[in-house]
Amino acid sequence: MCAVRQALLFAVLASACVGAVGGPGSRDAGSEECCAELQCADGFVCEDCLCRAVDCCAEIRCEEQGQVCSACRCAAPDEDSDQDGWMAAQDCDDSDPEVFPGAPEVCDGADDDCNGEADDDACAVGECCESACVDTSSDPDNCGGCGTICDDGDPCSVDGCDDGICVAVGCRGSERCCGSVCAACCNDQDCNDGDSCTTDRCVDGDCTSASICGGGERCCDGECAECCGDGDCGRGEVCSGGGCECGPAPHFQESRGQCLPSCGIALDAAGYADDGGGCCSSGCRFRQTEPTWDCAYCCETSNGSSCL
């Protein structure tokens, strides 16, 4: 009868704390929440986030006269089955010589010192979690308490535990998470700089950009052209339709493959004027600092008149 009652009691206790993350003696935030996550050893039940020994002997009636209940079994009161020097009447587990009143408590899921609690004060540092002492201030698998795993769900972050609080270090700066790797880009779209004159690509996690304009061309309002404004052209040239042209006429004209000033531009006191009668009819004058304004060029652009 004693054995039958004992088996029924163990079955009830085992079903009370199933599907656990933490082990005997584990602690977590909130009594109900943590007890739902703890799995206590046989003969123990979760109470206030601790695995405590169940007074199974209260449910067991020893049939033989004089017997006492020790570790959920009936024995003679002066029996010392485990030969640890403690009789069954005082020994909470007379089958284990390492368990007796006042024995050193170790992290093993059992009530070694027979005080009714398992693994209490068993660890010098941290807590006893699943029969192992862990530093809950730095262990990412038991951060701040047994069974509290640090995982923010980001495959690119490194999860850690700092002073009992979960922390995560992810991708740096402008990097992004590509699968499980931090990179500057995951695809070509990440590299699009909005410039229609360039081809942007993501190569091995880094952005590359190449101009689609040919030699001597530049990007003007999203289109490749020789010039965007007069400033992009040479002396005497203007930008027209994306290309440089000599002009404006009659002040500049194409001559000998060059864009040169014509005589008609210099009818003032700027040093380019003739004597008032036309560039070549009365002689040519030009600035010494502008040697291309010589008589030959001047005459060539003035209907072929001879230079005096």
Higher pLDDT, 209 or 270: 209
Give pLDDT, residue 38: 66
pTM of this prediction exceeds 0.75: no
Q: For the segment 213-245, what is each residue's pLDDT rounded down to a tens digit? A: 988 898 998 899 999 998 898 877 889 889 998
Share the mean pLDDT of the chain.
Answer: 74
List Cα–Cα distances, 226 to 149, 195, 248, in angstroms: 63, 17, 18
Q: Which residues contact 194 (CB under 8 A, 6 or more apart)?
A: none
Q: For the segment 4-38, what is each residue's pLDDT rounded down to a tens digit? A: 333 333 333 333 333 333 333 333 345 566 677 66
Instruction: Taking residues 85-98, report their average pLDDT.
Output: 88
Residue 253: CA atoms inside 13 Å, Cβ hemisphere, count? 16
Give pLDDT, residue 205: 94
pLDDT of residue 277 exceeding 60, the answer is no
Instruction: Taking residues 201-218, report their average pLDDT.
Output: 92
Most confident of the following: 103-112, 255-264, 271-280: 103-112
Give pLDDT, residue 227: 93
Higher pLDDT, 280 or 69: 69
Query: Distance between CA atoms of 213 and 219, rounded to whole angstroms?
Result: 7
Number of continuous H segments (helices) and E segments (strands) in the chain: 3, 18
The reply to whether omega before 248 is within 30° of 0 (cis) is: yes
pLDDT band for position 191 (50/70/90)?
A: very high
Q: Where are the domains of the chain?
A: 1-134, 176-211, 247-300
The reply to whether omega before 140 is within 30° of 0 (cis) is: no
Range list of β-strands (E), 95-213: 127-129, 132-134, 158-162, 165-169, 176-178, 181-183, 198-203, 206-211
Radius of gyration of the chain (CA): 48
| Token digits of residue 244 | 């440089």
Instruction: Taking residues 53-73, report their average pLDDT.
Output: 74
Higher pLDDT, 191 or 12: 191
Give pLDDT, residue 54: 62
Higher pLDDT, 254 or 203: 203
Give pLDDT, residue 254: 73
pLDDT of residue 47 exceeding 90, the answer is no
